[in-house]
């Protein structure tokens, strides 16, 4: 589990084809690798991945073809990525509970400077739209955010300068694809309602 509070911006230093997927090496400056062990989970752009190697300030993960098919931002050497280590029970939950299991890919339709903040507008896949609610939580590329408005499949969030400074969201433009994870509570409520009709 994660909180959606990004700890560092990393760089994919290697993306190597491996048995139908990719083996990625990610370099980090501020994540703090001293307590990371093989088998630990790290969210990379909102995708929960397992550390299979580590050396100094670099860790390596394997990404399956299935994961690559339903996410964006994990397949290019040199790409900047949002990083977060898995939560410990004693950690503060500054964002919301995030599983690191991306539900779908959205598309940025607008990214507007409002002066003191930026308005990010995203079109979600039709299947996810019903789970997105005003004042609810959404994860975009691993970043926990609060939904301001929803209309059909389109929703928007407000980004403060700090968020733009410490995440990759500042590089988004109209047409950019983003990883989306809906709120866990919405997912389970949806499942319970669907189960009534089974």
Each residue of 135-155: pLDDT tens digit? 999 999 999 999 999 999 999
Residues 6+ apart with CB under 8 A from 57: 27, 28, 29, 31, 33
Q: Where in the chain is the domain with CATH 2.40.30.20?
A: 8-85, 104-195
Mean pLDDT, rounded, of the chain: 95
What pLDDT, on a 0 to 100 scale, did the predictor assign at position 171? 97
In this predicted structure, the answer to whether residue 53 has a pLDDT above a threshold of 90 is: yes
Q: What is the spatial distance between Cα 12 and Cα 119, in angstroms, rounded to a whole number?
A: 28
Q: Identify the residue whose tokens are 């399956």.
A: 64
In this predicted structure, the answer to whether residue 88 has a pLDDT above a threshold of 80 is: yes
Q: Higher model confidence: residue 132 or residue 191?
A: 132
> Cβ(62)–Cβ(41) under 8 Å?
no
In this predicted structure, the answer to whether residue 179 has a pLDDT above a threshold of 80 is: yes
Domain 8-85 maps to which CATH number in 3.40.50.1390, 3.40.605.10, 3.40.710.10, 2.40.30.20?
2.40.30.20
Question: Binning pLDDT at 50, 70 and 90, where does residue 189 land?
Answer: confident
What pLDDT, on a 0 to 100 scale, did the predictor assign at position 193? 85
Q: What is the spatial distance between Cα 111 and Cα 172, in angstroms, rounded to a whole number?
A: 7
> Cβ(183)–Cβ(99) under 8 Å?
no
Phi, psi torsion values for 68, nearest 5 degrees: -65, -35
Q: What is the CATH number of domain 104-195?
A: 2.40.30.20
What pLDDT, on a 0 to 100 scale, did the predictor assign at position 92? 85
Radius of gyration of the chain (CA): 17
CA distances from residue 18 to 4, 14, 61, 83, 142 in whole angstroms, order as listed: 29, 12, 11, 22, 25
Q: Higher model confidence: residue 141 or residue 93?
A: 141
pTM over 0.85: yes
- Bridge partners of 25, per DSSP, are 14, 60
């Amino acid at each position: 589990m994660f909180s959606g509070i990004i700890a560092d911006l990393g760089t994919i230093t290697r993306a190597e084809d491996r048995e139908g997927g990719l083996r990625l090496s990610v370099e980090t400056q501020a994540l703090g690798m001293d307590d990371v062990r093989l088998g630990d989970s790290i969210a990379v752009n909102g995708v929960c991945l397992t550390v299979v190697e580590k050396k100094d300030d670099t860790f390596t993960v394997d990404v399956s073809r299935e994961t690559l098919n339903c996410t964006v931002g994990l397949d290019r050497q040199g790409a900047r990525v949002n990083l977060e280590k898995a939560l410990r029970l004693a950690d503060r939950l500054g964002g919301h509970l995030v599983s690191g299991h991306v539900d779908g890919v959205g598309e940025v339709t607008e990214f507007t400077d409002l002066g003191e903040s930026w308005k990010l507008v995203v079109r979600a896949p039709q299947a996810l739209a019903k789970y997105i609610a005003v004042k609810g939580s959404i994860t975009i590329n691993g970043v926990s955010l609060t939904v301001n408005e929803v209309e059909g499949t389109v929703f928007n969030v407000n980004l403060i300068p700090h968020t733009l400074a410490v995440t990759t969201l500042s590089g988004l433009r109209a047409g950019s694809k983003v990883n989306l994870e809906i709120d866990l509570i919405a997912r389970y409520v949806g499942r319970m309602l669907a189960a009534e009709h089974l």
